[in-house]
Structure 1
């Protein structure tokens, strides 16, 4: 039985995720609902998010090594008051952008990718709420296949 590649490998690695988030945040800048949330992001934000998602999907531990892992990500959301409407728009726009840049569209990959986006974006809403309790140590999340990709028999 062949071993399944990581979601990171299946997506196309760092270059594919950087392309995705570069294009995505270009769209965010023109989106009336999301632009205010990201108005003060630095020029490196898309690359940082690509490194985060890459690590979560089984890629190199770049975000943890360079940015501080999950505690740092939580700190970036504190007090932002992200709404459910903004969360849904973020997920929808990101999935539209994934189609636009040619991220894999097979059901197995997309089920896993969407699963992470739903889970992670809902945590962002929780951690962004006023008075959110972030005292519990959070490990870097890791995401795997919801169902391994179909591969033909040898």
Structure 2
């Protein structure tokens, strides 16, 4: 059986999804607020590498950009934002359609479940301060059966 990463088209599929999601997010009046401070020009490339690694692909993000601690710190210290999270998930689901990754219901469901978990669990543990995020966290892996380990 292939990994979720492979089923989603590998690195190219992740990059298409990251671009589509970013376009949807920037068009959303609530979610785009998260990018009001600006964002890196290579945001979609980095995001694709992160998602790829989390979904069973190579450790491109960890080898090139950082670890889970750095990612969680970027998303921490902003207080709860349930509406923004809900809308970010909706943008992700629309991006799945934009990229054709919604055609296979099993793939669509596992990608949706991963993004929902990452958005509402993994990235929301440290609302108070990014300084609370412990060092040395590894990128969680997600398979066809959900969170590994």
Question: Could you tell me the TM-score, scaled by structure 1's length?
Answer: 0.84
In 2, are the aligned partners of 1:20 and 1:101 still within 8 Å (CA)?
yes
Give 1:17 shift. Answer: 1.2
* Residue correspondence of structure 1 range 40-55 to structure 2 within 5 A: 40-55=38-53
Structure 2: state its 5+ residue gaps: none
CA distance in 2, matches of 1:131, 1:115: 26
Match of 1:108 in 2: 106
Q: Does 1:146 align with 2:123?
A: no
Which portions of structure 1, spanning 4 or more consecutive aligned residues, are displaced by more than 3 angstroms?
none
Give the equivalent residue in structure 1 for 2:125. Answer: 126
Moved more, 62-71 or 118-127: 118-127
TM-score (normalizing by structure 2): 0.87
Structure ID, larger Rg = 1
Structure 1: which 5+ runs fail to align?
148-154
Residue aligned with 2:58, SS = coil
CA shift at 1:136, angstroms?
6.4
What CA RMSD, in Å, does the superposition of the two structures yield over aligned residues? Answer: 1.8
How many angstroms apart in 2 are the aligned matches of 1:131 and 1:28?
24
The count of aligned residue pairs is 143
Aligned partners of 1:96, 1:27: CA distance in 2, in Å?
8
